Amino acid sequence: MTNTLPTASDRPFDVIVYGATGFTGRQAASYLAAHAPAALRWTLAGRRIDALRQLAEELGLSADPLVADSTEPASLDALAQQTRVLLSTAGPYAKYGGPVVQACVDHRTHYVDITGESPWVAGLIARHHERALADGTRIVPFCGFDSIPSDLGARLMVRALRDTFNEPTARIVAAFSLRGGGLNGGTLASALNLAEQFSPRELADPFLLCPGETTRAQWQAHRDPQGPVFDPARERWMAPFVMGPVNTRVVRRSAHLFAERGEPYGPRFAYQEYMDVSRGRRRRALTLTAGLGIFVGAMRSGVGRALFRRFGPKPGDGPSEAAMERGSFRVWYRAESDGGRCLQGSMVSPGDAGNVSTVRFCCESALALATQAEALGIAPGRGGVLTPAVAVGDVLLERLQARGVEWSVADPAV
């Protein structure tokens, strides 16, 4: 096999949505039907051909769907060979995703997913990063709400500090405010599988996605928040954010990868994130913190997981379309340079975070890889198991802004 990347003429499809008949997969397919360029060659894939054909008919998709199953590696090889980009919504990824990524690495097919299963991605880094790096294959997990707002926002704030003050970044704090929507069954299944397969200590490692030794002092300095904090800049209380233990690892991996490329965030760079408390009340921050503790404790308990499985949404289920469309999220960022200078940023996205925004983020990431390879600098030696900020960064920001995502940055002193 030669060390060359596939071109548009090499393969019949630009993008394949794998897991297309699941709750998120159907949304992703609908998004591409509505927003993909007319010239994009794309289709659906999964295990159930009848359901795939029905969805293709509903969407007016002329291309025949493809059958593939994570338990049948030959079917995944055939799938990966037919497309330039594989967008996978088939989780839990730690359970089903490994063979899919293996096929993409073997056949130099770019890969995008919406996982939040960071220990699984740590395994992908160990197994596949060096080969994908050399081949120029971009394996890009975390392309949903976990963790694009965190990862892309942090990268933009680092650059804004450098462009404005010519100083490296010492610290970024992000605060999330969520509205509407709801949990879908696939997300719950992934969370339950994550809690079952990986130890609390592994999940608590701040540098899980950064290979190499870290000292105990570094580990302690970057450990996840344990309680509410007061933000004097906005005069609001903040509680630990449920997805912080995923998102912060992704941001630290971006800092690691950009440093390898000669674009370091800063020698003292630190990143944490929180849940913004409406009306800024300390009591509510304490309540949210306690609720998060109860949730984490239940996830670590066999009885708790059994209750979630019995009473929570099942795979394939999720909130109504109306509920998802009413939702939105906002992230506030505060970045401080080594010299003590500060900038504030904001990202706002319409549609609920875990469904509408997740689908927008992952589909636009896949479209960027499929249609803007030159702008992304895709080439041998520029691949790997990457983060969204590293793999699709500025190109993705432009695409998201064209789809209604708002981004701003300002000097609070002005």
Same structural domain for residues 166 and 283? yes
Q: Answer yes or no: is 7 within a domain.
A: no
Q: Which residues does 306 contact at the CB level (< 8 Å), separation at least 6?
A: none
Residue 1 has pLDDT above 60, yes or no: no
Number of Cβ within a 10 Å radius of residue 119: 17
Which structural domain range is residue 236 located in? 148-352+404-410
Cα 122 to chain centroid, rounded: 14
Is residue 127 domain-shared with residue 186, that is, in the same domain?
no
Q: For residue 1, is it within any domain? A: no
CA separation for the pair 351, 323 (Å, rounded): 9
Residue 8, domain member (yes or no)? no
Structure-model confidence comparison of residues 183 and 274, the more confident one: 274
Q: Is there a domain that residue 62 lies in?
A: yes
The answer to whether residue 130 sits within a structural domain is yes
Question: Are both 110 and 225 inside the same structural domain?
Answer: no
Same domain for 209 and 171: yes
In 3D space, the residue among 272, 169, 173 whose CA is nearest the CA of residue 222 turns out to be 272
Contact between 357 and 101 under an 8 Å Cβ cutoff? The reply is no
Which amino acid belongs to residue 246?
V
Same domain, 58 and 20: yes
173 belongs to a structural domain: yes
Q: What does pTM read for this prediction?
A: 0.94
Query: Are residues 176 and 113 part of one domain?
Result: no
2 located within any domain: no
Residue 157 domain-assigned (yes or no): yes
pLDDT band at 8 (very low <50, low <70, confident <90, very high): low
pLDDT of residue 7: 58
125 and 178 in a single domain? The answer is no
Q: How many structural domains does the chain have?
A: 2
pLDDT at 2 over 50: no
- Rounded mean pLDDT of the chain? 91
Q: Which residue has tokens 């690892």?
A: 249
Rounded Cα distance, 208 and 119, in Å: 7
Token pair of 161 as six digits: 């500090």
DSSP element (H, E) containing 276:
strand 270-276
Segment 59-100, tens digit of pLDDT: 999 899 999 999 999 999 999 999 999 999 998 999 999 999
Mark whether 48 and 169 lie in a shared domain. no
pLDDT above 70 coverage of the chain, percent: 96
Say if residue 290's pLDDT is above 90: no
For residue 19, pLDDT beyond 70 = yes
Same domain, 166 and 29: no
**Amino acid of residue 219:** W
| DSSP β-bridge partners for residue 406 | 348
Claim to verify: residue 58 and residue 119 sit in the same structural domain: yes
- Who's near 226: CB < 8 A, 6+ residues apart? 240
Domain shared by 180 and 324, yes or no: yes
**Residues 265, 223 within the same domain:** yes
Residue with token string 């900020």 = 389
Question: pLDDT tens across 220-233, in order?
Answer: 889 999 999 998 88
What's 279's DSSP letter?
G
- Residue showing tokens 């360029």: 37
Find the CATH number of the domain harbouring 50.
3.40.50.720
- Residue 326: what pLDDT? 83
Q: How far is CA 133 from CA 33, 54, 84, 225, 330, in A?
A: 32, 38, 16, 33, 34
Range 25-44 average pLDDT: 97
pLDDT confidence tier of residue 216, bands split at 50, 70 and 90: confident
